[in-house]
Structure 1
Amino acid sequence: MSDGFTEMLDRAQAFYGALARNNSRDWFEPRKAGWKADIEAPARLLAEIMADEISRITGEAHASKVFRINRDVRFSKDKSPYKTMLAMLWAPGDRDDLAPSFYFGIQPETTFVGCGMSGFEKTALTRYRAMVDRWGDRLTEVMEQTGGTLADIGPEPLKRVPKPYDPDHPHAALLKRKDLALGLPLAEGWRDTGDGLVAALSDRIEALLPFQRFLVERL
């Protein structure tokens, strides 16, 4: 039986598609109450339910967050005031910035379920690079097994392989990164099962679980 969140996803995709074409306060403000009631409120409920589900799947407590719709435009050339994606995150209780989190993003035409870290601070970046240098072969195997693709959700990669690593390092592309996350869309045909969005999200979380466990163990 559907859990009712599929309808929220459909409303969100339609709303954010329209917002992308009309990204202004004049357009958003008259529709804000409807967005809060029909999209934000059920999204927060979904995030809370999935926090319990992810905690069960991983065996580690996770807390949920639904990202605000307003953009921070202070340091951006793009001054459009609103985000055109509904995004939520589930972070473990470990506040180490090398602890991977799970993500879910709803865009007008696509969905994105991810796992990883959106950016490394200096000390964490050193640890990440050491892990890639030592365990890069196994890391790439795990990434391929998930069927996911690298997600560009953090800082731009470096142009060159950082010192002291060989410029011809077999995992040069990973060494250049300042973030690491894998993403998957919801499984094709998930709507046809009739099980609902919670089940579809849980399926993707389980697909990403070997990647998450590898990072927890090696970082």
Structure 2
Amino acid sequence: MTAPAFQPGTFRFLKDLATNNSRDWFDRNKADYQRLVKIPADAFRAGLADALADLTGCTIASKQFRINRDLRFSRDKTPYNTHIRMAFWPASAAFEGKDAQPPGFFLSIEPDHIRLGTGCMTFSKPVLGAYLAALEAGRGGEVTKVLNAAGSCGFKVSDPDLVKVPRGFPKDHPHADLARHKGLAVWRDLPDTGTVQDETAIATLVKVWTPALPVWRYLYNLQEKA
């Protein structure tokens, strides 16, 4: 479970990009981007996908998000992201609509820390319906159990999407807070960028992710039944 890891220069590049976030600077340093970011990220993502396949028992597909920012609806017009972000999900799972996606694993390599998570950012309509139905039927304890187990290992639950419970869901239900989620994920920050700078990086990340695996598995099973 070893793979080429990132270098200290990767993080220097990301910090320099944050300071000099312009097309002119990026064009002058594009060779460094390829050498320090793009090439090692591609290799690392492939190795991590294999490791997550071993962890989950599923064939894993993956994506690396573009360095170019989408500026169409943003007031911030800086052209480049200053992080490396990847997503991993079961290759057999279908994406539903524009935003909804299957349960997956997420990795963000920031200039000064590492962030990882697992879950589903936005439920598809069938999965959201199954999720709310399970809560209302009194099976919210299973969700709470897996979230608490992940929380005891340093993971934090994503914030609710809604201020109030959705229409039709009992306001006084014991799991009303969980019903305010339109997606569900847990996240953990690792303050040491050295985590991804040696040959044990993939094994280390998988070890950190493992306590959150029941969250992923609960959501994966929910989707399979929806």
TM-score, normalised by the number of residues in structure 2: 0.82
Q: Distance in 2 between matches of 1:125 and 1:80?
A: 35
Structure 1 residue 15, shift from structure 2 partner: 2.1
Which residues of 2 match residues 174-213 of structure 1 at below 5 A?
174-186=178-190, 196-213=200-217
Which residues of 2 match residues 1-219 of structure 1 at below 5 A?
3-7=3-7, 10-97=8-95, 99-133=102-136, 134-146=138-150, 147=153, 148-151=155-158, 157-186=161-190, 196-219=200-223
Q: Distance in 1 between matches of 2:27 and 2:63?
A: 23
Structure 1 residue 2, shift from structure 2 partner: 7.5
Q: Distance in 2 between matches of 1:189 and 1:79?
A: 27
Q: Distance in 1 between matches of 2:120 and 2:174?
A: 22
- Larger mean Cα displacement after TM superposition, 59-68 or 163-172: 163-172
Equivalent pairs counted in the alignment come to 212
Residues 151-181 of structure 1, C-alpha deviations (whole Å, 9 max, x = no match): 46xxx71221111112233333322222211
Q: Does the C-alpha gap of structure 1 residues 197 and 157 become closer, same or farther in structure 2, counting only changes over 3 Å?
A: same
Structure 1 residue 203, shift from structure 2 partner: 0.7
Q: Does the C-alpha gap of structure 1 residues 5 and 34 become closer, same or farther in structure 2, counting only changes over 3 Å?
A: same
Residues 82-128 of structure 1, C-alpha deviations (whole Å, 9 max, x = no match): 11211111111233346311111111222111111121233333233
Unaligned runs of 5+ in 2: 96-100
Cα-Cα RMSD: 2.6
Q: Does the C-alpha gap of structure 1 residues 136 and 36 become closer, same or farther in structure 2, counting only changes over 3 Å?
A: same
Q: Distance in 1 between matches of 2:107 and 2:193?
A: 18
Structure 2 counterpart SS, 1:178: coil
Structure 1 residue 5, shift from structure 2 partner: 0.6
Contact 2:112 2:193 in 1 (8 A): no
Q: Does the C-alpha gap of structure 1 residues 123 and 78 become closer, same or farther in structure 2, counting only changes over 3 Å?
A: farther
Unaligned runs of 5+ in 1: none
State, as a whole percentage, how many aligned pairs show the same letter.
Answer: 34
Q: Does the C-alpha gap of structure 1 residues 205 and 163 become closer, same or farther in structure 2, counting only changes over 3 Å?
A: same
Contact 2:2 2:47 in 1 (8 A): no
Q: Does the C-alpha gap of structure 1 residues 203 and 126 become closer, same or farther in structure 2, counting only changes over 3 Å?
A: same
Structure 2 counterpart SS, 1:102: strand
Match of 2:98 in 1: none
Q: Does the C-alpha gap of structure 1 residues 74 and 168 become closer, same or farther in structure 2, counting only changes over 3 Å?
A: same
Q: Distance in 2 between matches of 1:62 and 1:174?
A: 28
AA paired with 1:122? K
Contact 1:12 1:106 in 2 (8 A): no
